[in-house]
Amino acid sequence: MGRRTLMNVLILGIGNILFQDEGIGAHFIHYLDEKYEFEAKDSTVSIVDGGTLAQRLIPLIVKYDELIVVDCIDADDSMPGDVYFFDYHKAPSNINWQGSAHEVEMLQTLNMIDMNKDLPQTNVLGVIPKRVADDTTFELSKEIISAVKLMEEVVVKYLNKLDIQTKIKNETTIEHIAQVSFKRDIINGPKI
């Protein structure tokens, strides 16, 4: 029986935390990082807050075998808080994902990496926002807060399919994380 090769998985949160629900991708990955430890014999999991960096993320993304992008999306016949999980190459026709609610740079970034044949297996975990840029605040809508449980279940189930186990290390809430995300550096931990 052959030895399995190491699989590197990146969970990448996209969005601007200053604009309410637009920040859910960044808040959600901070939530995962605070709540879980990831254990696997043949895999690593990295969690990165990509914010609105888009093309500056290319050197990072190409190092991985699996990519999960967490972001806001739009979809026909959807309601705020609806959650979608889809293969980047097989996005359902009713989904409009531009790489965040405000800009198309993340989608363009993935397209550029894909054209160079360097894109890892990529899935998008998208959620329909209720409020985007009405006001500058870290607060999330109740619809987005309610969606986090399903978003979490989807990520945990997908990681389990990759033989990555999740272990709860801290109980936390997305509301708490949304109030402190701006103080965190996902690579080096809290700045508090």
What is the C-alpha to C-alpha distance for residues 40 and 81, in angstroms, rounded to an integer?
A: 31
What region, left, alpha or beta, does residue 52 occupy, with left being phi > 0 and alpha being psi -120 to 50 degrees? Answer: alpha
Q: Between residues 168 and 191, which one has the greater pLDDT?
A: 168
What is the C-alpha to C-alpha distance for residues 176 and 139, in angstroms, rounded to an integer?
A: 10
H or E segment and range at residue 158:
helix 142-161
* pLDDT digit string, tens, across residues 64-90: 999 999 998 888 899 999 999 999 999
> How do the domains of the chain map onto residue ranges?
7-190
DSSP classification of residue 181: G
- What is the token pair recorded at 109? 């970034």
Question: Domain 7-190 has what CATH class?
Answer: alpha beta
Residue with tokens 């500058």: 136
Q: Are residues 125 and 69 in contact, defined by beta-carbon separation less than 8 angstroms?
A: yes
pTM score, whole prediction: 0.87
* pLDDT digit string, tens, across residues 108-148: 889 999 999 999 999 999 999 987 665 666 688 999 999 99
